[in-house]
């Protein structure tokens, strides 16, 4: 801002020199080559503008002054800039765009499929973990599902007998209670498999996976890998960060 003030003051002083002011005149006059009278900027006006410029952050010019100074005002336009600017700093992201991945249960790292700096998508497999508990959860679900199929058929049969007033209400209620309990148990095991990233449909087909995937919860870039192959990780231990 100080540079701007000096620049304006120099312009005004140059105007005073070119006009050739009269110290005893309130306003300077000038005639062109044909003898026509032209009003110029008054000396007092110049002094007032210069004095005000020393105390204010801006000055105001009249249209006559703008015309005399030949000041042109152009509209702001967009221009393409080229080149690179190198700076030192640290990039920060909002909390919802940052994630730390952990294993659902305590297990050993079987394989790592991402390295630092990799761009990953939401749902992409970053690593695999293995543990006997993973196999146990799948077999428990398979047993609960097969038992549920039998109990559902028994429940339907007892309901039909009860509706036809052939079977007892006690047998129907017992079959209904047993069926609903087995259904809840199977749903619980299925939810556990979903947390592990395993398909319940895959298990129902008789397939048992020995590893469970660790998937990316968001899109982003891997900042740091905190695990190694064969390492045992706790459920709350960070595995990857980005």
Domains of the chain, earliest start first? 2-69 (no CATH), 99-241 (2.40.50.100)
Tens of pLDDT, residue by residue over 51-67, are: 555 555 667 778 888 88
Kindly report, residue by residue over 149-204, the tens digit of the pLDDT. 899 999 998 888 888 887 788 888 899 999 999 999 999 999 999 989 999 999 99
**What was the pLDDT predicted at 148?**
92
Cα separation, 234 vs 196, in Å, equals 14
* Residue partners of 71: CB distance under 8 A and separation at least 6: 61
What the block records as the tokens of 77 is 């336009």
Q: How far apart are CA 186 and CA 142, in angstroms?
A: 8
User: CA-CA distance, 114 to 222, in Å (whole number)?
Assistant: 8
* Sheet of 100-102, strand order: 100-102, 238-241, 224-225
Inform me whether the pLDDT recorded for 106 exceeds 50.
yes
Rounded to whole angstroms, what are the CA distances from 159 to 69, 90, 144, 182? 102, 68, 22, 17
158's tokens: 């007892």
Q: Is the pTM of this model over 0.85?
A: no
Task: Using CA atoms of 184, 190, 196, 202 in order, give the dihedral in degrees to the nearest 10.
Answer: 170
């Amino acid at each position: 801002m100080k540079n701007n003030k000096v620049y304006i003051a120099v312009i005004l002083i140059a105007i005073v020199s070119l006009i050739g002011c009269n110290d005893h005149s309130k306003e300077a006059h000038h005639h062109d080559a044909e003898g026509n009278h032209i009003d110029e900027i008054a000396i007092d006006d110049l002094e007032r503008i210069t004095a005000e410029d020393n105390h204010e952050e801006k000055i105001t010019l009249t249209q006559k002054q703008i015309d005399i100074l030949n000041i042109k005002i152009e509209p702001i336009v967009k221009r393409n800039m080229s080149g690179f600017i190198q700076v030192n700093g640290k990039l920060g992201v909002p909390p919802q765009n940052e994630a730390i991945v952990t294993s659902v249960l305590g297990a050993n790292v079987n394989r790592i499929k991402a390295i630092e700096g990799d761009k990953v998508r939401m749902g992409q497999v970053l690593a695999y973990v293995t543990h006997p508990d993973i196999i146990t959860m799948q077999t428990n679900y398979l047993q609960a599902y097969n038992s549920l199929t039998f109990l559902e058929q028994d429940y339907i049969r007892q309901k039909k007998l009860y509706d036809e007033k052939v079977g007892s209400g006690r047998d129907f209620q017992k079959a209904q209670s047993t069926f609903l309990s087995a259904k809840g148990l199977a749903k619980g095991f299925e939810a556990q498999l979903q947390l592990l990233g395993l398909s319940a449909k895959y298990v129902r087909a008789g397939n048992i996976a020995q590893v469970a995937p660790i998937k990316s919860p968001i899109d982003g870039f891997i900042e740091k890998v905190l695990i190694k192959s064969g390492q045992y990780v706790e459920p709350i231990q960070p595995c990857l960060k980005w």
